[in-house]
Amino acid sequence: MKKNMGSADRIIRIIIAAIIGVLYFTGTVSGTLGVILLILAGVFVLTSFISFCPLYAPFGISSCPIKENK
């Protein structure tokens, strides 16, 4: 797996996951929608920790800064 997420992308995903978690555990979002959003938050945290987004790969998207080899 080649990293395809930059630090800004990772931070944004963690912040979104934290917001979803707070909304779920305070009862603002509940039911099926709450569970779906909680699973999405878990995916965001997981992809942030490994710096790889599987949805970016087929489209060739990368927010990771390019390192020049000299």
Distant-in-sequence, close-in-space partners of 24: CB < 8 Å, separation ≥ 6: 30, 34, 37, 38, 41
Query: How many residues can be counted in the chain?
Result: 70
Other CB atoms within 10 Å distance of the CB of residue 44? 20
Condensed to tens digits (0 to 9), the pLDDT of residues 11-62 reads 999 999 999 999 999 999 999 999 999 999 999 999 999 999 888 888 888 8
Token digits for 51? 């710096």
Q: What is the pLDDT of residue 65?
A: 83
Map out the domains of the chain as residue ranges.
7-58
Token digits for 52? 């790889």
CA distances from residue 52 to 2, 25, 31, 36, 45 in whole angstroms, order as listed? 7, 27, 29, 21, 11
